[in-house]
């Protein structure tokens, strides 16, 4: 992936395995967000391939990829700020709505049924993320931490098989981070009988890819960590291995200059 003269991602080969939380870390400008954008279809890489479940997706537009099971959140929160929490979540469910414009307009028969079914899913998500008090609050009026939570809710509404989270904890205080960590783990594990009708929450999201700066969070959450630096993949391994990897340390701390 290249922007003009800048090579943002160069020869990065990386696989997120089924059932794992993969964290991508790296200094600022390492290409972490570019990588997520390529995967989710926000950018189209000039070269290289992206597979989801063995299927090539790099040429598919973003909505197609969402349908195939890719859900994501953004570093700088991309919600409809003029809509309420419920409306934002319902908007994501649009992806699955089948009825036609005419029936929708008069809100009759199948359109009504469909709306109710999707609203059930949305209410499950609201219950799961404990955002009942802000159900009808316009998102633009919410504090940052809650908006992040709504955004996670929207990604879940897409029923993703793979969840991409771009700096979910950025700008949060300690307590908000702890809450969000719990939500991410709970999403990953699945809640079984608590949400019998919504497969994503019932069975969990198998694979989560997480871009994060807070090393404490990464070490707690991730099964595996990949480290990017200037568009190159410089290390990959368990959190314990990464902590002591000399290449990672030098990328973060700078190399010692020998006089």
Partner 1 sequence: MKYGGANAAVCADVDTYTIPHLLLNNLSKHPNKVAVRKKDRGIWQEYTWREIYTRVRYLALGFIALGLQKGDKVTFIGDNDPELEEGIIAVQSCGGITAGAYPDSLPHELKYITEHSESRFAIAADQEQVDKFVRLKEELPLLEKVIYWDAKGLAHYASPFLMSYEQLMQLGKEYEQRYPTAFEERIATTEPDDVCALFYTSGTTAGRPKGAVLTHRSLIKFGEGTVHKCEITPGHNLVSFVSSAFIGAAFVITIPWLLTGATVNYPEEVETINRDMREIGPEVVSSVPRNWENMAAMAEMRIMDAGFLKRLCYRLFMRVGFKRAGLSYKGKKPNILWRLLFYLAEIALFHPLKDKLGLSRARVVTTGSAQMSPDTFRFWRALGLSLRQIYAGTEAGYISGHEGNDIKDDTVGTLVPGVEARVAEDGELLVRSESMFQGYYKAEQESASAIERGWFHTGDAVDIRTDDGHLVYLDRVKHLAKLNTGETFAPGYIEGRLRHSPYIKDAVVLGHGRDFVSALIAIRYDNVGRWAEKNHISYTTYTNLSQKDEVAELISKEIERVNQGLPAAVKIKRYVLLHKELDPDEAELTRTQKLRRPLVEKRYESILDSIYNGRDEVSVEATVTYQDGRQVVTKTAIKIRNCDERAR
Q: Which residues bind partner 1 (CB under 8 A)?
A: 120, 123-124, 126-128, 130, 132-133, 135, 182, 186, 189-194
Nearer to partner 1, 124 or 159 (CB): 124
The CB-of-213 to partner 1 minimum distance in angstroms stands at 23
The CB-of-161 to partner 1 minimum distance in angstroms stands at 19
The CB-of-112 to partner 1 minimum distance in angstroms stands at 16
Nearer to partner 1, 67 or 182 (CB): 182
Nearer to partner 1, 72 or 188 (CB): 188
The CB-of-173 to partner 1 minimum distance in angstroms stands at 11
The CB-of-203 to partner 1 minimum distance in angstroms stands at 10
Residues in the chain: 259
The CB-of-250 to partner 1 minimum distance in angstroms stands at 34
Nearer to partner 1, 36 or 205 (CB): 205
Nearer to partner 1, 78 or 197 (CB): 197
Distance from chain centroid for Cα 167:
9
Of residues 221, 214, 155, the one with CA closest to residue 188: 221
User: What is the radius of gyration, based on Cα positions, of the chain?
Assistant: 19
Q: How is residue 95 written in tokens?
A: 């992806």
SS (H, E, C) the chain: CEECCEECCCCCCCCCCCCCEEEEECCCCCCHHHHHHHHHCCCCCCCCCCEECCEECCCCCHHHHHHHCEEEECCCCCCCCCCEHHHHHHHHHHHHCCCCHHHHHHCCCHHHHHHHHHHHHHHHHHHHHCCHHHCCCEHHHCCHHHHHHHHHHHHHHCCCCEEEEECCCCCCCHHHHHHHHHHHHHHHHCCHHHCCCCHHHHHCCCEEEEECCCHHHHHHHCCEEEEEECCEEEEEECHHHHHHCHHHHHHHHCCCCCC
The CB-of-128 to partner 1 minimum distance in angstroms stands at 7
Nearer to partner 1, 126 or 211 (CB): 126
- Contact assessment for residue 183 and residue 150, using Cβ atoms and an 8 Å cutoff: no
Nearer to partner 1, 10 or 214 (CB): 214
């Amino acid at each position: 992936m290249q922007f003009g003269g800048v090579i943002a991602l160069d020869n990065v080969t990386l696989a997120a395995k089924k059932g794992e939380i993969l964290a991508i870390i790296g200094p600022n400008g390492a290409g972490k967000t570019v990588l997520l954008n390529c995967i989710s279809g926000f950018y189209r890489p000039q070269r290289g391939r992206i597979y989801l479940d063995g299927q090539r997706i790099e040429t598919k537009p973003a909505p197609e990829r969402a349908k195939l099971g890719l859900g994501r959140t953004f570093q700088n929160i991309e919600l409809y700020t003029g809509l309420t929490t419920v409306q934002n979540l319902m908007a994501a469910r649009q992806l699955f709505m089948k009825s036609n414009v005419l029936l929708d307009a008069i809100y009759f028969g199948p359109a009504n049924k469909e709306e109710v079914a999707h609203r059930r899913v949305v209410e499950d998500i609201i219950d799961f993320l404990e955002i009942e008090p802000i159900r009808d609050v316009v998102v633009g009026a919410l504090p940052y931490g809650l908006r992040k939570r709504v955004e996670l809710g929207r990604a879940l509404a897409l029923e993703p098989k793979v969840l991409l989270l771009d700096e979910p904890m950025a700008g949060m205080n300690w307590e908000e981070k702890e809450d969000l960590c719990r939500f991410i783990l709970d999403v990953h594990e699945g809640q079984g009988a608590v949400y019998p009708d919504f497969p994503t929450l019932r069975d969990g999201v198998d694979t989560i890819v997480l871009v994060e700066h807070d090393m404490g969070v990464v070490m707690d959450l991730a099964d595996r960590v990949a480290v990017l630096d200037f568009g190159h993949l410089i290390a990959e391994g368990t959190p314990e291995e990464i902590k002591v990897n000399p290449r990672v340390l030098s990328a973060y701390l700078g190399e010692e200059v020998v006089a």
